[in-house]
Amino acid sequence: MSDEIQALEAQLYMQAARRLPVTLVRGEGTRVWDSDGKEYLDFVAGISTNTFGHADPGLAQAISEQAGTLIHCSNIFFSEPQIELAQLLIENSPMDRVFFANSGAEANEGALKLARKWGGVRKNGAGEIIVTHNGFLGRTMATVAATGTPAYREPFEPLVPGFVHVDFDDIEAVQAATSPQTAAVMVEPIQAEGGIIVPSDDYLRKLREWCDEQQLLLILDEIQVGMGRTGTLWAHEQAGIEPDVMTSAKALGGGVPIGALLCKESANVFEPGDHGSTFGGQPLATAAAAHVVRRVIESDILQNVRERGAQAARALGALGEKHAVVKGVRGRGLLIGLELNDAIAPDVVVNSVGRGLLLNPVRPDVVRLMPPLNVSAEEVDRCVEILDAAITEVTA
């Protein structure tokens, strides 16, 4: 059956991205099953979206109750779940205002529009936004123009203008790129798609100081690193700073598509007519996200992220003593990159998948691990055991 689906996909679907040859049909917690009945341990979690794993009963109930009440009503009207989620996010972040979108790229698109308008009305028409090489902000026209990977943007020229790219983790490069035309600096607290690149401890603090001094908006993309993934609700908490604008998505809906654009009152320049979305902030998605946020805040799941993250980092680090190809481990909490000395991450992943472990080769030499935030100690041990065997076989 999976062969049939995969053959049809090759014929019907735009071949815009590569897939692993696995057809998933159901899941439970950190486990998923394919159409042949084979079981896998899921350390991809929908690319860091399935906060509580698969088929979580609480989330399923929140979705089903809302689906049986009011799925969608348009932003022409008010709705309760939307404002309940807004309140949860505002009370649990340094932000004052929120706008809901349907995805990460869309939330970032809103952040870029907000920054352009802010520069227009508050900074003499300044419209340039400083972004980073190797960064990832999404796949829409503005976010590909801002992306730091040339291959993602070059086929789509002419690009949205006004983005200045500098090296990540280089405050002097940001300073040198700043001009009277600069409105904002937009970075990820950790470059995730870029290969789990954690900047120096003082990078975000120095960016904050520079933005204050130069009157620039500091925009943080918390789409992958936020919502508990790195062991605190937001990654910027660990740097002891507050952004002016930030975006969230991925884990926010626990697997249901939703994105959020948040800002301080000082950056709140949108007026009626400036931005909108048919589905953004609809009752179904916001009811799901409200359930997710409430549980992340009220449970001890962040402690689990820190403990399982430390456990995984230790165990993966120990693989370095056994395998010459293992160079090191980087990341925070449960966003982990296993760095290899050779471009064999895709082979290691294919081998692991054969052994019943789903992983992602985020770069040719980096395997990314991003299990559900409620992953157990036994599941982390099992993952490292399988990876150990996979690396042994691939390097034999």
Ligand X SMILES: *Cc1c(COP(=O)(O)O)cnc(C)c1O
Q: Does residue 352 interact with ligand X by CB under 6 A?
A: no
Residue of 42, 193, 244, 339 interacting with ligand X (CB under 6 A): 193
Give the nearest distance from C-beta 334 to ligand X in angstroms. Answer: 14
Q: Does residue 347 interact with ligand X by CB under 6 A?
A: no
* Binding segment (CB under 6 A) for ligand X, from list 1-9, 35-43, 135-143, 155-163: 135-143
- The site map against ligand X for 102-121 (x = CB under 6 A) is -xxx--x-------------
Query: Catalytic annotation on 170?
Result: no
Rg (CA), the chain: 21
- The site map against ligand X for 236-275 (x = CB under 6 A) is -------------xx-------------------------
C-beta neighbour count of 271 within 10 angstroms: 9
* Nearest to 257, CA basis, from 277, 239, 279, 272: 279
Complex with ligand X: residue 192 or 391, whichever CB lies closer: 192
| C-alpha pair distances (Å), 111 with each of 216, 236, 346 | 14, 17, 34
With contact defined as beta carbons under 8 Å apart, do 4 and 24 qualify? no
Q: Does residue 221 interact with ligand X by CB under 6 A?
A: yes
Q: Does residue 384 interact with ligand X by CB under 6 A?
A: no
Give the residue carrying structure tokens 């980096």: 366
Number of residue whose CB is nearest ligand X? 104
Q: Does residue 188 interact with ligand X by CB under 6 A?
A: yes
* Nearest to 103, CA basis, from 230, 253, 245: 253
What is the distance between the alpha carbons of residues 126 and 164, in angstroms, rounded to a whole number? 13
Q: Does residue 309 interact with ligand X by CB under 6 A?
A: no
* Binding segment (CB under 6 A) for ligand X, from list 72-80, 134-142, 232-240, 368-376: 134-142
Per DSSP (E only), the strands in the chain are: 24-28, 31-34, 39-42, 97-101, 128-132, 163-166, 182-187, 217-221, 245-248, 259-263, 326-332, 335-340, 357-358, 360-363, 366-369
Q: Does residue 223 interact with ligand X by CB under 6 A?
A: yes
Q: Which of these is catalytic: 43, 52, 99, 136?
A: 136
Give the nearest distance from C-beta 367 to ligand X in angstroms. Answer: 17
What is the distance between the alpha carbons of residues 341 and 276, in angstroms, rounded to a whole number? 46
Query: Catalytic annotation on 221?
Result: yes
Binding-site size, ligand X (CB under 6 A): 15
Cα 85 to the center of its chain, rounded Å: 19
What is the distance between the alpha carbons of residues 346 and 190, in angstroms, rounded to a whole number? 22
Q: Which of these is catalytic: 34, 56, 221, 244?
A: 221
Query: Catalytic annotation on 77?
Result: no
In the complex, which residues of this chain contact ligand X (CB under 6 A)? 103-105, 108, 136-138, 188, 192-193, 221, 223-224, 249-250
Catalytic residue positions, numbered: 136, 221, 250
